Amino acid sequence: MFHLKPIYINGLGLCNPLGTSAEEVAKNLFAGSQAGMVERTDLLNHGNIYVGQVSATLPDLSHFPKHFQSRNNQLALMAYQQIESIVDDLKAEYSAHRIGVILGSSTSGIAQGEEAMLYRVEQGNFPDSYDYQVQELSNPAEFISEYAGIQGYVSVISTACSSSAKTFITAAEMIHAGLLDAVIVGGVDSLCGMTVNGFSALESTSSAICNPSSVNRDGINIGEAAALAVVSGKKSAIKLCGGGESSDAHHMSAPHPEGQGAMVAMQQAINNAGLSADNIDYINLHGTATPKNDEMEAIAVSSIFTDKPYVSSTKGYTGHTLGAAGATEIAFCYLALQQQKMPEHLWDGAEDPAMPTLNWVSKRSNLTKRLRYCLSNSFAFGGNNVSLVIGLSDE
């Protein structure tokens, strides 16, 4: 179990619609900014759609091999550069062979494949700049590994919306087993037509900025992001306390209506952390703003957490960043612990009478005690559920 051999989060790099550094992201997160949620006219086959978009200038990859030249890797590099000095110090201490890279992604370089296919339809051949390897799911981890000079284990986990949350658990298991001393974890996903149109075809996308847990909720916004962290046994301010995983396999795209898999993942995470439910001060909900997800998650949370910890969904700040969502939202918990602030639950305030009432973070919420432990939920297609607990290391 995690608490028997502590694992710490040694550094954090972020790039998402709230900003391109942890400092900028924190400032906009705790200010309740939705500036990164924009309406796009070019992603849906028919019509406009709101998405979470990174608007900053991203690193130039033109000097890298063409199979690494993707927006996905630009986002990943922007995040990695924020933890590069930490990785270099760990390489000097442990050696490059004892450090791994485990990332989550669901898109990889699909956007570049879409552009190449449009070119082929118009010109009769693929552009010289296109290499199919840019779309392979392993690509972002291979890119970061090569850029960082890492020679340990390298992989990408792709379990839809729980992908990057799972990287933390997998990394901890490998450190506990003595296979690695430190791991670069997290996730990256970029906007592309396939995911936007796919979720639209499932009637899962919102007509406006999403409205999680409201009786008026009508679906998600897709977003893009990169969130990378370094985890190791080297002590730092924030500890990875525990993780829980379940697979209820209730339905290909719908969650178990009573949240059974979600409850298993949350309880397992709490148990692995050596904690009880009343130790959790704040929960970052999966909170997609789809009718079924929000209802089942409210049922699951209210069943386990009778003391009603603060809760919020942050999908209204960034959109649902898919393979990057788990890492992005555990990063928000990291920032909450670091700054002793909580992100507001952004919605219209119209409670759904079919859902249990939760303790929503609002502008009026006042912390009456120190934030010590946070839990973050990531629930994916096929009933693949992950919960993570992080906390202050001096607790």
Question: Which tokens in the block code for residue 250?
Answer: 């209730």
CB 13 within 8 A of CB 80: yes
Q: Would you call 374 a catalytic residue per the annotation?
A: no
Residues 6 or more apart whose Cβ sits within 8 Å of residue 92: none
Cβ partners under 8 Å of residue 296, min gap 6: 255, 256, 257, 258, 259, 262
CB 383 within 8 A of CB 245: no
161 is catalytic: yes
Rounded CA-CA distance 161/164 in Å is 8
Q: Distance of alpha carbon 106 from its chain centroid, rounded?
A: 11
- If we measure between CA atoms, which residue out of 325, 332, 269 comes closest to residue 301? 269
CA distance 2 to 373: 14
Whether residue 345 lies in the annotated active site: no
Q: Which of 320, 333, 345, 374 is catalytic?
A: 320
**Angstrom distance (rounded) from CA 320 to CA 30:** 18
- Paired strand residues for 231: 9, 183
Instruction: Please provide the DSSP assignment of 286-337 as one string.
Output: -----HHHHHHHHHHHHHH-TT--EEEE-HHHH-B-GGGHHHHHHHHHHHHH
Angle between helix 325-339 and helix 22-30 axes, rounded to 10 deg: 80
DSSP at 43: S
How would you write 164-198 as a 3-class SS string? HHHHHHHHHHHHHCCCCCEEEEEEEECCCHHHHHH
How far is CA 18 from its chain centroid? Answer: 14
For residues 191 and 109, is the Cβ–Cβ distance under 8 A?
Answer: no
Instruction: Exactly one of 286, 333, 345, 374 is catalytic; name it.
Output: 286
Find out whether 40 and 33 touch, Cβ atoms under 8 Å: no
Per annotation, catalytic residue among 15, 67, 161, 333: 161
Order of strands across the sheet with 49-52?
37-40, 49-52, 222-223
Determine the Cα–Cα distance for residues 19 and 272; give it in Å rounded to an integer: 33
Q: Which amino acid is at 176?
A: H
Catalytic site residues? 161, 286, 320
